[in-house]
Chains A and B, each alone.
Chain A
Amino acid sequence: MNLDWEFIAESLPLYGDAMWLTVKLAFWAIVFSLVLGLIFSIVLYYKVRGLSLIIQAYIELSRNTPLLVQLFFLYYGLPKVGLKMSEVTCAIVGLTFLGGSYMTEAFRSGMEAVSKPQVESGLSIGLSRTQLARYVILPQAFAISIPSLGANVIFLLKETSIVGAIALMDLMNVAKDLIGMHYKTAESLLLLVLAYLILVLPLSIVLSWLERKVRYAEFGN
């Protein structure tokens, strides 16, 4: 197969821009969903009445619907009832809506996996509930959660591939445009796959390394 290298060189900047957009969207979505997940999992762990129920409903809604439909609803549906957001905001809100529930579950299962004797010892030396959370549960829970948090990070990064559906010039959209305009299918798709490999592969390797490292952080099991 003969690849048109000139075409590849010419389209590199386009892919570069799109990768930057992907990184930006994924970064904010990951940050916001981590914050959301941390807050929600603490609420769930301490079984705050009323709030827990709302959060659980949110988790089920978010996990059992596709991101594409969530984005379409946010982008095309909500403006009809007066809530208009830019494409970028929409994508970040949508990704956070999706990622928040996955992060909550990751943190919560980490908190629940902290061994009971740890919690009891903390209580017996007179720690308050906040101190217990801050010094005993959360540090360990965080270490235990790292593998699933990492999986969620990769998941969110990959899910950004859908934002082209709400008119953002992401990698998918660039590839599609180039195919449509120049019929350089093989070149465009090759660059598309490479772009995702460059984005996801290093992260995936770092995470599996980290996963082996943090096993040491599990005490008392």
Chain B
Amino acid sequence: MQNSGIEVLFEGSNLERLLGGLLVTIEISFVSIVIGTVLGVLMGLLRTLNLKPLQAVLRLYLEAFRIIPILVWLYVVHFSFTPLLNIDISGEATSILVFSLWGAAEIGDIVRGALQSMPKHQEESGAALGLSRIQLYRYILIPQAIRRMVPGAINLATRMIKTTSLVVLIGVIEVVKIGQQIIELGVIKAPNASFWVYGFIFILYFAVCFPLSRFSRRVERRWQN
């Protein structure tokens, strides 16, 4: 029997390189989630204030990311920043920028939703006790709201990790790109490599996202009561 092709995964440093590529994906998502969370919390707090024009702007910002596909955003930033603003940023930087802005929009909405879903009497009881506005947020609203935010935020994280696979299309060297390189190199020796390499990448993504989505479901169930 000829090479079945699965060996290609274990030849030389292929396995290591693929895992390294996955790490790039995870790094981009991780950094974006951190930046997105910080900006998003701020945005969510701003959206609970009753400032009509500000609300309209932030709402528009959120809808822009909901309506236009992320891949289009990646293209727009990737192809227009360099010539228009005369700055050269790498594919990674582009990705982190786009994903952070997207994350900020979505986290902002999660934070707003959680804060607004808080029963009014919580705030009123706090005020009756003589807590200041800041104390109210710090001791009453935020601790309770966080419980309602966590499942949504983890969900967003898995969505982001999955969506990060798109950065290969703007030239970032991540797991899919490395997979393609391995397939191209072995095109004569292991003609069936693409089945195994893409199959393996499929499983890699699953291995990262499945525990996360399980975790978020469990948190959701436990904190619902």
Contact = CB atoms under 8 A, between A and B. Distances in A.
A78 B195 contact: yes
A87 interface: no
B67 A77 contact: no
Given A80-B192, A165-B169, A179-B79, A64 B72 contact: no
Interface in A29-64: 60-61, 63-64
Given A64-B158, A65-B206, A73 B75 contact: no
Interface stretch (A112-120, A130-138, A139-147, A184-192): A184-192
A219 B120 CA distance: 27
Contact of B68 (A64, A70, A175, A200): A200
Contacts of B191: 80
A76 B197 CA distance: 10
Interface string B195-225: 1111101100110011001000000000000
Interface in B140-171: 158, 162-163, 165-166, 168-169
Interface SS of B by simple majority:
helix
Contact of B195 (A66, A81, A192, A200): A81
B56 interface: no
A185 B83 contact: yes
B195 A69 contact: no
Given A65-B162, A65-B206, A192 B198 contact: no
Interface in A181-208: 185-186, 188-189, 192-193, 196-197, 200-201, 204
B58 to A, nearest CB: 17
A183 to B, nearest CB: 9
Interface of A: 60-61, 63-70, 72-73, 76-78, 80-81, 154, 158-159, 161-162, 164-165, 172, 175-176, 179, 185-186, 188-189, 192-193, 196-197, 200-201, 204
Given A63-B213, A159-B69, A192-B72, 8 more contacts: A64-B162, A64-B209, A66-B165, A70-B202, A76-B194, A77-B196, A192-B76, A197-B67
Leading 5 A-B pairs by shortest Cβ distance: A64-B209, A66-B165, A80-B195, A66-B162, A161-B69
16 contacts: A60-B210, A64-B162, A64-B206, A65-B205, A65-B209, A66-B205, A68-B168, A69-B201, A69-B202, A72-B198, A73-B201, A76-B198, A77-B199, A158-B69, A197-B68, A200-B68
